[in-house]
Structure 1
Amino acid sequence: LRRQEDRVRREERLLREEAALRNERIRQEERMLMEQEMLEEKRRRRQEQARLDEEYLREEDRPLREDMEGMTQLALVQQRREYLQSARRSIPYQRQAEMITMNLAGNN
């Protein structure tokens, strides 16, 4: 009878351990899924912000591109100064400032 009770206790302990391991694996999988979802959401937000920045620059740059050939050196310097002062330090704004700088160098 005692051996039977010991065997039952061992089986119960093994079942509890298996359940604990299974629950831990489930928690780890849930954490991984949540992390993946958060990373995906961050990626989506970055892509949307980049799209909005590009769209904004296209609209802002249209007059600049249309008038670039007729602008004087002083106007180019002033335009570059305005961009550098108002830029939010995002990559698209830096590219725009670089483009203006290259135009300045090309007009010298």
Structure 2
Amino acid sequence: MTDTFTALSDPTRRLLLDRLSETGGLTLSDLAEDLPMTRQAVAKHLAVLEAAELVASERDGRCKRHYLNPVPLAKIARRWLGRFEEVPLAAMSGFHGPAGERRVAQT
């Protein structure tokens, strides 16, 4: 899971994932279009995303097409966000008294 967080920490990689979520099956040239970097730099970002299993690729003749793999993102959502869905908001945040003094919620 560390690879996933490392891959998601870079804004360019998040942009590539956004593009793949909108339109899957993009080539390296498609992904590099309008980005202020070389195709080689985009390829390095794709390699990080593939190592984190966030992107799957397949050959289509001479082209290599890239697709978003949502499974690692779903695992993160379930592990890190899912546990907070059932907890009342007041219990998570506590209560703030005067002048920002924080008091723990009484149960």
TM-score range, shorter chain: under 0.3
**Structure number having the greater helix percentage:** 1
TM-score by length of 2: 0.26
**Structure number having the greater strand percentage:** 2
TM-score by length of 1: 0.26
